[in-house]
Structure 1
Amino acid sequence: MSVDSALRSNAEDLPWVIQKYGGTSVGKFLEEISTNIVHTYMNTNRVIVVCSARSGETKEKGTTNRLLRAAKEALTPGSREHLQIVKALLDDHLKSAREIIRDKAILEPLERQIEYDCVKLKSFLEAAQIIDEVSPRSKDIIIGVGEKLSCRIVAAALRDRGIDAEFISLGSIIEGDMNTVLDQPFYDDLASRMAKAISAAGNKVPVVTGFFGNVPGSLLSTIGRGYTDLCAALLAVGLEAQELQIWKEVDGIFTADPRKVSGARLLPIITPEEAAELTYYGSEVIHPFTMEQVIRASIPIRIKNVENPKGQGTIIFPDHASANGYATPPPAPEELAKNGYHLDLTRKHPTAVTVKDKVCVLNIHSNRKNVSHGFLAKIFTILDKYNIIVDLISTSEVHVSMALGAEVVDNSLETAREELEKLGLVDIIHNMAILSLVGKQMKNMVGISGKMFSTLAQANVNIEMISQGASEINISCVIDEKMALSAMNAIHKHLLSVSPAVNISASDEIKVVA
């Protein structure tokens, strides 16, 4: 009997844990994942592994970016670059497979599967070149190859280490009978279908593609590059998992970026609202929509580090704990009967500070003596026309200031400016940053805004604009990008230096006391 069989003889009685691994983790830390992490959780859980496409040395060399470039090159007259990209991807994945897989009986079928996937990709790109078209759906199919290659290697690596794993592709999970509107019932139905697809694996460890193509309107267009996280979230919902784990190369969520603030502390627990605000304003946590799918089912999300798997990580904890949300890691059965479960998030200070760089400020001063009631409507109609997203806004009767994120294309902004100048005087300030102070309980902290701005004044940081009110847990301001680092350090030192007493163990409830 294999080690895996012995561990999983009663696997059907164990709760599910969904583990999502990003491209960098799969590319650089597969040995740790296959030898240690998955095996450890199998003692107490049924594990599902969801993988992104493998990343390269740089973001541009990542599998998904190379596949998107191949799709573009296929439409370039006379280009053979797309074929070279496929050849390079084939060589890279074969090399990785040969480095991680020791058993030839496992390696040889894997090599044939990788070669077959790349041959199909090559033929698909050649067909696209002939018809001179890559539709949004075709682009989805092309990028989906990245997850297939990644998951095949991960499944084989697990089998090579005695874990009975099975590769599962969700590329055809969406069928014609599904609702074509991407509303909540669509995602609920999709979660249910994903759960049924996983049941075919029995007691094996499913290694699932983050790609689930055929989404109405294109997966890449409607959901974006974070679709792997969403796939893991829907699996957690469909299977009523005990928790969703997001494995990264950081220990969790910090009070500030630890690369920029030496005193930054790991946050053992954080609310979904705080995580959503931190994600939007600069910290890479998890997409708010993806998080919403899991939290509404009262399933905790744990951020963990593949380089430090024994670390406690950060738990994004549902506001209203249910049967699936007592505590993570899961307590022993006798612990669940205790009535002393307590979760106190009434911190007496903000939770974290974050900075979003490469921001520009758009100022519009009305040129009309009597401002029309449609002034703001006209502004946003123009911005919407050029797909310009506003991060922050501050208004007076005749003046509007808006902070625009780094995704704004200069050409679109300049074209929009020409139309906006019909409404009034327009100026654009570049090289700015948004500094955000986030905390669930800040609405109850009298004088916190004054402390924040006086701290910035003492650090000689000038404020271009202020925004507060849209969110009760976020105070944001726009500052010069050159001052962002010193501003973040000053705010952290004066407003976030107090740490709550924390007690988290694997066999007891979570207790956080401010």
Structure 2
Amino acid sequence: MKILKFGGTSVGSAENINKVISILEQQSKDTNIAVVVSAVGGITDKLLEAANLACNKDLEYKQTYNAIWSQHSKVIEGLFENSDHDKNLKKSHEALYDLISEKLNELKSLLDGIYLINELSPKTKDKLLSFGEALSSTIIYHTLKSRQVDVAYKNAQELIVTDSNFNNAIVNFEITNINIQLYFNSNSNAIVLLPGFVSKSVHGEITTLGRGGSDYTAAIIAAAIDADELQIWTDVSGMYTTNPKLVKQAAPIVELSYQEAVELSHFGAKVLYPPTVMPVLKKKIPIVIKNTLDPEALGTTITENTQPNGSPVKGISNIENIALLTLQGNGMVGVPGFGKRLFETLAQEKINIVLITQSSSEHSICFGISDNDAKRAKEVIDTVFEYEIQLLKIDPIIVETDLSIIAVIGDKMKNHQGISGKMFSTLGKNNVNIRAIAQGASERNISAIIHKNDVKKALNSLHEQFFEIKTKQINLFITGVGNVGERLIEQIHQQKSYLKENFKISLKIAGLSNSRTMVVNDDGINLKHWKQQLENGEKASLKGFLNHVKKLNLRNSVFVDITANDAVANIYGDYLKHSISVVACNKIACSGNIEYYNELKILSRQYNAAFLFETNVGAGLPVIDTLNHLVTSGDKINTIQAVLSGSLNFIFNNFNAETTFYDVVKQAQEEGYTEPDPRIDLSGIDVARKVLILARESGHALELSDLESDNFLTNDAMEAASVEDFFKTLIKDETYYQSLFKSAEDKNCQLKFVAEFNNGKAKVGLQEIPEGHPFYNLKGKDNIVMFYTQRYPEQPMIIKGAGAGADVTASGLFADIIRIANN
């Protein structure tokens, strides 16, 4: 015989009850079954709400009662929607409606009585709550009968006998087991339907079995008759590897041991009520958790022994709304009795302890309880230890709220080294601060208390570590989506599948911002329609964007700056302090005040968040990465020589005696090689910033003011009031610019704007490069960097290639993102 229990969602609507009936008809073909049902979904809460309103003399209880009436009426109408065309069905419909009306009138009288006497005792509360299961089981029974199903109805109150501990009665198994056995031995119906949760005391008073009581009812019956199987039908396909509402990659667990199921249930997996396991555990009866809405799904089977699988960790669970209380003081050390007094006090107040940890010094005891009990616990503990507190032997109890417990669970964990190391290193990498740790002697679970805001990130990070095929998700927040930003988004969209398939890297753009609007989405932004989403986003704000990123608190978050904005550069530190990596195309942070540059480097190490800026020099060329590898491996940079401006290289490669300097600069501006104001490029300030960054990365503390700059522009050009006036000076001073070209040509040289760093000093300026020099044949917008080091003293290490352009700059940013993903 099998016992099936259906929860509130399973019987929450006519549609779902019809699915339940289909399951019962199918399963009863093979064996007799007993079916335990919960109240219709949401009714138990409504019953409590109505009772509390009535007790508080609030006439709104009548509205809640009407909602209860309406909900049951809707279910009945849905189950008998075709009764007008069938005389027998109509008769059954009317009879059921009258029966439910009678029960609901009893409920109304009880609520009216609570209102009149202004009191809700535990005994009355149990009587009130029993209506939920009585109503649902009556509806389902009469529906089954109307469809000619071989079914019997048995009120569980006639079988399950308890003490008089109302609201959470303790079962008298000696009497209860005999009652159940006698009934089922004499019953021959294919299906027996029973209400869950309800029972009666030895004195005949209505009692209830507490939270999860319907599960418990089913387990009691299963154990009493040695059932072949206990099935718990709910609205999910079993117990999951973690909370599927917080972790989308969570999956049903096929097999669990009884102990693993109890641990997962204790630590927040609400599919199964922990005491349910106890009656069937002794009898070794399998528990199967199934989905009413998807009955073909495999579900979770809970047995004594499970088959070994790939991971020793079976699940990750969490409990919300936890307070951490700490009793501490030097007067506790070596003095017996503190623990006894502490826990006796909590027991007397009926305050349940969820987690305990004590330091080996005996200086403190930490324990986790429900947030709702924290204030009361502090009051009673401070009162009990008032004498010791006055003598300064111990401190007043310390209370921390807004916490949650996360627990990694699995029977086989004790046989595997490194589980706790993986758990805590994963949390640490994601800046999840741990307030307390507990591990049982069985090593079946490792629990940690963390802030409630970190739960989603912690569960996702741990799930990725223990259950996913080593796929690392990177969450990107990009500000600045102009030409380069657009190309970066295109590249990410193009490469997403390739990276996931070949490198187990999953890239998700979770936020975009430009100077006008911003959009942030936890589920990721649709890269086919990102422009429309951004256009319809909220008003852009640097602080607002940062706050969105912090609030989402996603693992492996990366802020990508593709602007040239001072204000954006000045906010990097705020991201790094929240363990959010920074990838910067913007050169301002690394070439500005050296104190800020050093601060960002320190924050990056302190908060384990990358700070990468490869595109600051050479766009997509691996200049900084190569330099860092040289320095890290112990090499010393002696000299750097470089052509670092694609725009200036383009200009001087196209300038000759047959062209005018004005025409070439104008062409460079129109084709996007220079800034809208070409003086920014021609002044050499951009090149100066680049060589300054290389000098700093080489270990030299230089400021921009320390650089020597040989400006080849005329004073009139630099002092022009507008870009238009600047171009006029180029026409006026053409003879001067031609003289620069003629001087180089006469020496068989090429004009190149060169950056140099040597012996701790740096300079930039226009140089005449002789034939045969590596810079001589540099074409187009190419950059070139030569490193002379201790290991490369005569023949330098040379990096050469396109140093400007939206595509190569975007690819450099992309490379930095992949470096973070591979870390």
Q: Tell me, yes or no, if structure 1 residue 437 matches structure 2 residue 408.
A: yes
**C-alpha distance in structure 1 between counterparts of 2:429 and 2:55, whole Å:** 56
Q: For the Cα contact (< 8 Å) 1:268–1:312, is it kept in 2?
A: yes
Q: Name the amino acid aligned to 1:349.
A: P
The correspondence of residues 42-57 of structure 1 with structure 2, limited to 5 A, is 42-55=28-41
The correspondence of residues 377-456 of structure 1 with structure 2, limited to 5 A, is 377-396=340-359, 397-406=361-370, 408-416=372-380, 418-419=382-383, 422=389, 423-456=394-427
- Specify whether residues 412 and 354 from structure 1 end up closer, same or farther in structure 2 by C-alpha distance, changes over 3 A only: same
Report deviation, 1:470.
4.2
Deviations 1:105-146 (A, max 9, x none): 221110111011112223334445556654423322221111
SS at match of 2:397: strand
SS at match of 1:428: strand
**C-alpha distance in structure 2 between counterparts of 1:42 and 1:469, whole Å:** 42
Residue in structure 2 matching 1:254, options 240, 243, 248: 240
Aligned to 1:512: none
145-154 vs 215-224, which deviates more? 215-224
The correspondence of residues 2-21 of structure 1 with structure 2, limited to 5 A, is 16-21=1-6
**C-alpha distance in structure 2 between counterparts of 1:388 and 1:183, whole Å:** 18
**C-alpha distance in structure 2 between counterparts of 1:414 and 1:100, whole Å:** 52
**C-alpha distance in structure 1 between counterparts of 2:199 and 2:311, whole Å:** 45
- Structure 1 segments unaligned to the other structure (5+ residues): 1-15, 56-61, 320-342, 500-514
Q: For the Cα contact (< 8 Å) 1:90–1:114, is it kept in 2?
A: no
Q: Name the amino acid aligned to 1:416.
A: V
Deviations 1:292-333 (A, max 9, x none): 1012112110000011101111001134xxxxxxxxxxxxxx
Q: Tell me, yes or no, if structure 1 residue 350 matches structure 2 residue 313.
A: yes
**C-alpha distance in structure 2 between counterparts of 1:132 and 1:353, whole Å:** 45
Aligned to 2:452: 481
The correspondence of residues 463-502 of structure 1 with structure 2, limited to 5 A, is 463-497=434-468
The correspondence of residues 74-113 of structure 1 with structure 2, limited to 5 A, is 74-77=54-57, 79-101=58-80, 102=82, 103-113=89-99
Q: Tell me, yes or no, if structure 1 residue 303 matches structure 2 residue 289.
A: yes
- Specify whether residues 84 and 107 from structure 1 end up closer, same or farther in structure 2 by C-alpha distance, changes over 3 A only: same
The correspondence of residues 165-184 of structure 1 with structure 2, limited to 5 A, is 165-173=151-159
SS at match of 2:11: helix
**C-alpha distance in structure 1 between counterparts of 2:365 and 2:126, whole Å:** 38
Q: Tell me, yes or no, if structure 1 residue 115 matches structure 2 residue 101.
A: yes
Q: For the Cα contact (< 8 Å) 1:278–1:285, is it kept in 2?
A: no
SS at match of 1:409: helix
SS at match of 1:312: coil
Q: Name the amino acid aligned to 1:413.
A: A
**C-alpha distance in structure 2 between counterparts of 1:445 and 1:376, whole Å:** 33
- Specify whether residues 358 and 133 from structure 1 end up closer, same or farther in structure 2 by C-alpha distance, changes over 3 A only: closer
- Specify whether residues 217 and 69 from structure 1 end up closer, same or farther in structure 2 by C-alpha distance, changes over 3 A only: farther
477-486 vs 195-204, which deviates more? 195-204
Report deviation, 1:468.
1.2
**C-alpha distance in structure 2 between counterparts of 1:466 and 1:218, whole Å:** 46
Aligned to 2:48: 68
163-172 vs 434-443, which deviates more? 163-172
Aligned to 2:722: none
Q: Tell me, yes or no, if structure 1 residue 363 matches structure 2 residue 348.
A: no
Q: Tell me, yes or no, if structure 1 residue 41 matches structure 2 residue 4.
A: no
Q: Name the amino acid aligned to 1:375.
A: F
Q: For the Cα contact (< 8 Å) 1:352–1:438, is it kept in 2?
A: yes
Report deviation, 1:402.
2.6
Aligned to 1:510: none
Q: For the Cα contact (< 8 Å) 1:173–1:212, is it kept in 2?
A: no
**C-alpha distance in structure 2 between counterparts of 1:137 and 1:492, whole Å:** 44
Q: Tell me, yes or no, if structure 1 residue 124 matches structure 2 residue 110.
A: yes
Report deviation, 1:496.
2.7
**C-alpha distance in structure 2 between counterparts of 1:159 and 1:483, whole Å:** 51
SS at match of 1:96: helix
CA-based RMSD of the aligned residues comes to 3.0
16-25 vs 193-202, which deviates more? 193-202
Aligned to 1:504: none
- TM-score normalised by the chain length of structure 1: 0.79
Report deviation, 1:31.
4.2
**C-alpha distance in structure 2 between counterparts of 1:222 and 1:395, whole Å:** 36
**C-alpha distance in structure 2 between counterparts of 1:121 and 1:469, whole Å:** 46
- Percent identity, please: 30
- Specify whether residues 109 and 424 from structure 1 end up closer, same or farther in structure 2 by C-alpha distance, changes over 3 A only: same
Structure with larger RCO (C-alpha < 8 A, sep 6+): 1
**C-alpha distance in structure 2 between counterparts of 1:53 and 1:311, whole Å:** 24
**C-alpha distance in structure 2 between counterparts of 1:300 and 1:197, whole Å:** 23
SS at match of 2:156: coil
**C-alpha distance in structure 2 between counterparts of 1:357 and 1:218, whole Å:** 38
Q: Tell me, yes or no, if structure 1 residue 462 matches structure 2 residue 427.
A: no
Aligned residues: 452
Report deviation, 1:447.
2.5
- Specify whether residues 316 and 148 from structure 1 end up closer, same or farther in structure 2 by C-alpha distance, changes over 3 A only: same
Report deviation, 1:18.
1.2
User: Which has the greater radius of gyration?
Assistant: 2
Q: For the Cα contact (< 8 Å) 1:229–1:290, is it kept in 2?
A: yes
